[in-house]
Amino acid sequence: MKVRSYGVVMALIAIAAALAAPLVADPFWMTLITQIYIYGLLALSVDLLLGHAGLYSLCQASFFAVAAYTTAILQVRYGYPTIVAAPAGLIAGTLLAVLYGSAVRTRGVYFILITIALGYIIWGAVYRWASFTGGDNGITNVPPPSVAGFSIASQTAYYYFVLTVVILCAFGYRILIRSPFGLSLRGIKGSESRMQSLGYRTTMHLYAAFVISGLIASLAGVLYVYYNRFINPVAASFQISVEVSLMAIVGGSGTIVGPFIGAGVFLGLRNWVSSFFELHTAVMGAVFIATVLWAPSGIVGLVERWRPGIGKPKDQP
Amino acid sequence: MSNATPSSATMSGPLLRVADIHTYYGDSYVLQGVSLTLQKGQIAAILGRNGMGKTTLIRSVAGLTPPRAGEITYRDMSLRGKPPYVIAQAGISIVPQGRRIFRSLSVRENLLLPTSVLARSSQARNGGEPGQRWDFDEVLKEFPQLAERVNHSGGSLSGGEQQMLAIGRALMANPKLILMDEPSEGLSPRLVLRVQEIMRRLRARGHAILLVEQNLELALSVADEVYVLSAGQFVFQGTPADLANATQVLDQHLGVSGARMV
């Protein structure tokens, strides 16, 4: 009970701080924080597979990019309104996950290699199919989202929009991982063959998790394209897939806030370090190594360890 | 469920029939023609030294290492080509070797896993024979030491508690047949007696058990039928009393002197 109220209090404080942020933050910070929410959501999609099901997917950028490109192309090239373009982006990214989900028939290093290869297919397609995707230049001049005459043009308005979507997603995600389905994923992470011997058709569960993960990544992609107002092949790159995985691990895999904290650390550090040090990616690497060595359960794990009073985070579901 | 008629009444053959199975583990030829039958509510013990194929026999029945040849029939249903989850749903539970519980899940979660809507049809969860049904409360009543620790992670339990959890988890599925792989391994003599007592109670409640053991005394004290496995084949089949008198089998295949058993 005590543990539970602690979590509720922390969540309320975080939500209150996020709501109040536009009152104190300047446009630079607003941009950064919005970016953290979007990448945090993408990292959360990675962590459904990594932290719960034990699958290391390295093609999350594909769903993100396909959703973003679909929305951008429909808006810019064909002039479809947001009400069509945004859901179409979500559907396109999720359909790709339905297709790519057959990767769950493999395990371990084969799964990792296959997802890398699948990721390169999308990156290659958006990079080389220049007549359709704009190639290296990508798609520019994506208009702000607009529904029924209301345009979410201002930075503050879009901030609140992204925040609302992220909070709703976090609640939905919480329900999902506490459901029997979430428990089955954690069981599969523990031992897949034992779960089969308990009557679970594990491959179907992993497939479902993969598609849900693709849906969350697609949502992040649609939020991203309206925030950035343009999209280029970097969004589909292997680098993005790796970075969001690192965000989840650094922040705290297997938790909901972890991926967002990881996104904050990564993007915050990158912004800060790159202002005075050219090799900022090396700093990112060092942060990751330090995490693996001294804080294997991420920043959330460190906080749990230092939290006064009630302990035993292991005993929490 | 008043209409739960014991389906075993319509069953013609034994609960489990293993007929001349040949199982390979990678390239090695482990089970070289093994046959056995097990009736409802009986305990069959498979004895043998390490590496003789005992665990492979359990894995063959559970579908984890399917035999290349031969036939396994459970309640008149062929298990050939059936994946492990189908075999589990049909009513066969496994208590794996080395107390393999889910260490990161709580005791409660470990126990509830087999009863999830995702693992069982509602019919299978609500069916079963009266007086033989296990549920969460019933299992905790049987294993009171688990009741005190329902919210602890499986990994924080002692070895004995983990074994009780592994057995309790198997019972939650309300199996007709329980496959037990060396349940006494690494347990203190007092806990071995507890395991013995549990197996007798399970038999009394109508569960059949296929027990793989190295602990000869435990196996002889609970089993209705004993098999000795050596180099992938049965070299002995009989009652516990028969085995106690078979000095040559005890000496050659189990490494115990017959004199000790008298």
Tokens 């049909």 locate to B90
In chain B, residues with a C-beta closer than 8 Å to the C-beta of A183 are 105, 109, 112-113, 116
Query: What integer best gives the mean pLDDT of chain B?
Result: 85
Closest CA to A45 of A259, A228, A197: A259
Specify the pLDDT at position A246. Answer: 92
Q: Which of B103, B152, B173 sits opposite A190 (nearest CB)?
A: B103
Provide the 10 A C-beta neighbour count for residue A9: 10
In a domain, B159, yes or no: yes
In a domain, B155, yes or no: yes
Q: Which of B105, B120, B153 sits opposite A187 (nearest CB)?
A: B105
Contacts within 8 Å (CB) and 24+ apart, B127-131: B127/B1, B127/B4, B128/B4, B128/B174, B129/B4, B129/B6, B129/B206, B130/B1, B130/B4, B131/B205
Q: What is the pTM of this model?
A: 0.88
Q: Which of A184, A202, A314 sits opposite B116 (nearest CB)?
A: A184
The DSSP H or E segment spanning B179 is strand B177-181
CA A97 to chain centre: 14
Apex B75 CA angle, B74 and B76, nearest 5 = 90
Reported as a single tens digit per residue, the pLDDT across B124-169 is 555 555 556 888 888 898 898 899 899 999 999 988 899 999 999 9
Shortest Cα–Cα distance, B101 to chain A (Å): 9
In a domain, B201, yes or no: no
Interface touch B116/A202, C-beta < 8 Å? no
Q: 3-state class of B224 per DSSP?
A: coil
- In this predicted structure, the answer to whether residue A25 has a pLDDT above a threshold of 90 is no
φ and ψ of B104, to 5 deg: -90, -10
- In this predicted structure, the answer to whether residue A119 has a pLDDT above a threshold of 60 is yes
Q: Does A301 contact chain B (CB < 8 Å)?
A: no
Q: Which of B96, B152, B156 sits opposite A194 (nearest CB)?
A: B96
In a domain, B171, yes or no: yes
pLDDT (mean) for B18-24:
92
Q: Which of A180, A190, A314 sits opposite B116 (nearest CB)?
A: A180
Q: How does residue B121 score in pLDDT terms, banded at 50, 70 and 90?
A: low
Of chain B, the percentage scoring pLDDT greater than 90 comes to 44
Q: Does B232 contact chain A (CB < 8 Å)?
A: no
In a domain, B127, yes or no: yes
Structure tokens at B174: 């309300």
pLDDT (mean) for A192-221:
95
Q: Does B119 contact chain A (CB < 8 Å)?
A: yes
In a domain, B133, yes or no: yes
Q: Which of B100, B106, B120 sits opposite A194 (nearest CB)?
A: B100
Q: Does A107 contact chain B (CB < 8 Å)?
A: no
In chain A, residues with a C-beta closer than 8 Å to the C-beta of B117 are 180
Better-predicted residue by pLDDT, A311 or B155: B155
Q: Residue A200's closest chain B neighbor by CA?
A: B119
Strand-pair partners of B210: B44, B179
A-B contacts (CB, under 8 Å): 81
Q: Does B148 contact chain A (CB < 8 Å)?
A: no
Count of alpha carbons within 13 Å of A274, Cβ hemisphere only?
8
Shortest Cα–Cα distance, B111 to chain A (Å): 11
Interface touch B105/A194, C-beta < 8 Å? no
Domain span at B150: 101-175
Label residues B180-189 b or e (16+ Cβ within 10 Å = b). bbbbbeebee
Shortest Cα–Cα distance, B249 to chain A (Å): 34
Distance CA B33, CA B55 (A): 15
Q: Residue B157's closest chain A neighbor by CA?
A: A315
Task: Give the pairing of strands B69-74 and B43-47.
Answer: unpaired
- In this predicted structure, the answer to whether residue A311 has a pLDDT above a threshold of 60 is no
Q: How many domains does chain B have?
A: 1
Reported as a single tens digit per residue, the pLDDT across A141-196 is 898 898 877 888 888 889 999 999 999 999 999 999 999 999 999 999 999 999 99
* Residues with Cβ within 8 Å of residue B35, at least 6 apart in sequence: B18, B19, B20, B21, B70, B234
Specify the pLDDT at position B72. Answer: 94
In chain B, residues with a C-beta closer than 8 Å to the C-beta of A317 are 106, 109
Strand-pair partners of A146: A151
Interface touch B85/A200, C-beta < 8 Å? yes
Q: Does B156 contact chain A (CB < 8 Å)?
A: yes
CA quadruple B216, B219, B225, B228: dihedral sign: negative
Q: Does A202 contact chain B (CB < 8 Å)?
A: yes
Specify the pLDDT at position B6. Answer: 44
Extents of the domains making up chain A: 24-238
Q: Does A195 contact chain B (CB < 8 Å)?
A: yes
Reported as a single tens digit per residue, the pLDDT across B42-95 is 999 999 888 888 899 999 999 999 999 999 999 989 999 899 999 999 999 999
Contact A251, A300 (CB under 8 A): yes
C-alpha distances out from residue A25 to A34, A260, A267, B57, B192, Å: 12, 18, 16, 67, 66
pLDDT (mean) for B213-229:
90
In a domain, B143, yes or no: yes
